[in-house]
Every structure is written in C-alpha cells, then in structure tokens.
Structure 1
C-alpha cells in the first residue's frame, strides 16, 4: 500500500476539505422507503411510535393546548407523512439538525416541529423533553428506517415549481370555485365532521394556518397544489393554474403571526413571503 506523506497539517486539512465538501453541499438522494406498520416494535418504543402517529393525525383533538386552529399536521403532510412531495416525514431524522434560511441558523428537528405548531397550527410549541415531543420524534425516526444519515429522500418537501410564473388572481378565483370549493368551501371554511374537526381543512379564516406558515407563501402553496390537489387527482392542474389558485387563497384573511418580522434576518426573503 502506497502511503502519501503530507508535509503540513494545512495540507491534511485541505485534502479532507476537498473530499468532504461535495458530500456536504450536495446530499445524495435516495428512494423514499415507507416501512410496514407490522415492523413497529412491541413494548414502550412501539407505544411511543403509535402515540406519535396519533398526535400527528389527530392533532387538533389530541393537543388542544398547542393547536390554535382547526387543522391536523396531516392536513398538509398527507397520508400520515408518507406521501412524496407532500412534505413527507420519511427520512427527516437523517437530515436534521439542518440549516434553514428563514431563521438563518441550524435548527434541530424539535425546533422544526415547533415551528409548524406556531405557524401552520397557529398554536404553541411543545416542550422539547415532553412525552408528546418524544412520541412525535419516535414516529418520525421509525418512518426514517433505512434512510442513511445525511441523505435526502426522493419526494422530500414539495415539487419544484417555476417561480417566474406571473399569478392571475381572477383566474385563480375561478379555478378555486371549480376545483377546490366542493371540499374546502366557497369561503375557504373547510368541511366539518360530526366530531368537531374537519374532513377537509379550511384554507383561510380563523381556523386555517397563519401568515407565517410556509403554505401562506404563494409559490410554496402552488407547488403543493400542483402535485397533490384536487385530492386524488394530483397533477391534473397546470403549473399556471396552481400558481393562480394559490395567489387567490393565500391572500385571503387568516391569523397574523407577529414573529414573522424576524424571518430571513440575512435579507434573503423570498418574493412571495407574507
């Protein structure tokens, strides 16, 4: 075996940097595996995983002190967080902690979860060491079974959409009436179920996400709509239709979020940020 002698520590660090940099800047993408529920272990760990799923799919009822609207986490993270391009939770424990430009700092997965509670759920954060937070983390860890650390799964986040598309809110209103109102209501109020929650979530008004949520951003919402809506018919709207309808419903009245003034402190605020 040939041994290369490096004359200085600087040479060694430079070589290490050259090897490591591509892996850090360009994470490998791997297929998104969804584990079979039969693989949930018995005992306390399995109980925590099941509890975490229950909290995320029935959030409004299970965590009334932390949810300030009518939504569940799975109102956006479809099929219990297992649907590609609907911001799945599969693989999240493989990539966090992670730098986020909105806060301009490295966020833990707990911080990211609480960000959703405060914005998308218009509510209050969970204590980091609470049984509920640990249950949610347990479910996400189980969903990430088999995903190598430092890799992104195919379908993470939302589908990319062209942000140069110019929105037409008038056309968006027509798209909403034709494609969205039958489930989400003519006034965005959603469709309630007899148990007090929603069969289909409200997309504006007091029971919807607040202005600090990612879904309140036009292009983010459009990317979600393009791939996933109408429910069961994802991909049937054009990118322009998705941008137009997102421009319409994201600008409707919804709760404020005072702390949004602190977002993007480095000045790289996206053009569709509320």
Structure 2
C-alpha cells in the first residue's frame, strides 16, 4: 500500500473512531413517511397487510385476539401519533431491555406482549406471515429514524407519579367526559360489524390486568395527552390520574403470567 492510500485509510479510521456514538436516550424528531413511499411488489404488499392487521386486529386475527380491541385502540392513528405509543422508530430501537421482563427482548416479543396482555389473546409465531407483515409495517414507519435513537413522542407523556389519586372524583370525570364514547359501564361503543367504534375500557372485552394500560399512572399519561379524543391536553394531570384511578380498577380479565413480571424486584407502585 502506498503512502497516500495509507494516509487516507488512517484518516477514515480516525473519523469513525471519533464519531459520537448514538446513545439510547438520544431523541430525534418523529418523521411519518407518506404512504406514497410504500414500494411496489411483495414488500409493499406486506407493509399494507401489516397496517391492516394492526388497525383491524379483532377481525383479522380472531385466533390471537381474546377481546374486542384493535392494536390501534391505544396506538392511535395507525401508530403515528406522538405520546400515544407510536411505532415510528421501533424497528431500530429493539432489541431493548424491559424491566417488566427483566431481560433484553426483541420487537417480536414486545408485539406478542401486547397480544397476550392488551389484546388478552395468544402470541403470533415469530416466523408467521402475520408477524412478518407487522414487522414490515413498523420498519417502513421507521424510515429515516437512525438506529439506536428514540423519536420525540415515543411511549406516553410523562406524568407526575407523586399525585395522589381520587377515584371518586375520577368517576365524576369519567361520567362527564368519557362515558359518551366508552359507555357508562366502560363497555365501549360497537359498530355494525361487531367491532368497536370506541373501545371498552373495562369488562371482558377490554385489556387484562397485565396490560400496561391497567397501570394507573400509565393510563393517566395516555389520557392526559390524548383524551377526550380530539381534545387531548384539556384535562389536568390530577384529573387524568383521578379518572385513571377509577377505570383501571374496574373488573377486567386476569393475566396469570403477571406473577412473573419484574423479576428483578423493581415493580412500580401502580402495577396490578
């Protein structure tokens, strides 16, 4: 190797070595790709199928869904709404450590967590066409998000967990602000096809006690930013905590495997 080539190679190696590493906590703006960018052919078909499965989950995957919910009952606008647990960027965020599992898990495992908890159903096979379609959709949604970063708006909005809940006040808020869509008994509002226009928030067709939304402060964070639908941010943090304290404690399906959650002993105070 001549001197010039050696010098170029050395400079390139130094540039790589000195480049700042992407930290897990680094955040970037949340880009949402235009559907016109979905490619033609098998990959494009898989992306569209993945979106259909996630937005019409109850009907499309009856063997895997044990209640009346769709994935987009919580992941609003097909997983593209900030602070409504968007899927944008997730393809490059996993594998990731989850304290509830006490280990590093894959994106497929995280998806199946939702099927077993939020959907009160059964997991998908990792190599199934359905799982691959869901993964394809989430990969497409993550277009332009650097691997190892979190998008602004990932998960839910932070909420003050020192706030003391008042479920009696929460019931009055639910009656005034939530019951018109989600029903006086949390039963939701059905559509003519047998699904739900607005999902049930307790009862047999809702998420089970092992779901993240069954945790008071997690539910409060979602409510604070997103509810009432189209009027997100109009409730105070205290109101959100109060109404979450009311509806999360209503009857819902059990989840026996929750006894294995937080094996490291760091169980949150609002965990069911």
Shorter-chain TM-score bucket reads over 0.9
Post-superposition shift, 1:94?
1.2
Which residue, out of 96, 101, 106, partners 1:108? 106
Name the residue aligned to 1:252.
Answer: 250
How many Å separate the matches in 2 of 1:61 and 1:200?
A: 15
Name the residue aligned to 1:82.
Answer: 80
Name the residue aligned to 2:115.
Answer: 117
Name the residue aligned to 1:13.
Answer: none
Which residue, out of 199, 214, 217, partners 2:215? 217
How many Å separate the matches in 1 of 2:167 and 2:235?
A: 15
Pairs within 5 Å for 1:1-274: 23-24=22-23, 26-274=24-272
Post-superposition shift, 1:28?
1.4
How many Å separate the matches in 1 of 2:120 and 2:225?
A: 25
- TM-score, with normalisation over the residues of structure 1? 0.92
How many Å separate the matches in 2 of 1:134 and 1:266?
A: 31
Cα deviations by residue, 1:41-83 (Å, 9 ceiling, x for unpaired): 0000000000000000000000000000000000000000000
How many Å separate the matches in 2 of 1:184 and 1:153?
A: 30
Post-superposition shift, 1:126?
0.1
Name the residue aligned to 1:5.
Answer: none
How many Å separate the matches in 2 of 1:243 and 1:185?
A: 19
- Secondary structure (helix, strand or coil) at the match of 1:139 reads helix
Cα deviations by residue, 1:73-107 (Å, 9 ceiling, x for unpaired): 00000000000000000000111000000001000
How many Å separate the matches in 1 of 2:26 and 2:270?
A: 29
Cα deviations by residue, 1:205-262 (Å, 9 ceiling, x for unpaired): 0000000000000000000000000000000000000000000000000000000000
The number of residue pairs the alignment matches comes to 257
How many Å separate the matches in 2 of 1:40 and 1:165?
A: 44
How many Å separate the matches in 1 of 2:145 and 2:229?
A: 28
Name the residue aligned to 1:10.
Answer: none
How many Å separate the matches in 2 of 1:191 and 1:95?
A: 35
Post-superposition shift, 1:27?
2.7
- Secondary structure (helix, strand or coil) at the match of 2:197 reads strand
**RMSD between superposed Cα atoms in Å:** 1.4
- Secondary structure (helix, strand or coil) at the match of 1:259 reads helix
Name the residue aligned to 2:13.
Answer: none
How many Å separate the matches in 1 of 2:265 and 2:29?
A: 34
**Structure 1: gaps of 5 or more residues:** 2-15
Post-superposition shift, 1:23?
4.4
Name the residue aligned to 2:10.
Answer: none
8 Å Cα contact 2:182-2:188 kept in structure 1 = yes
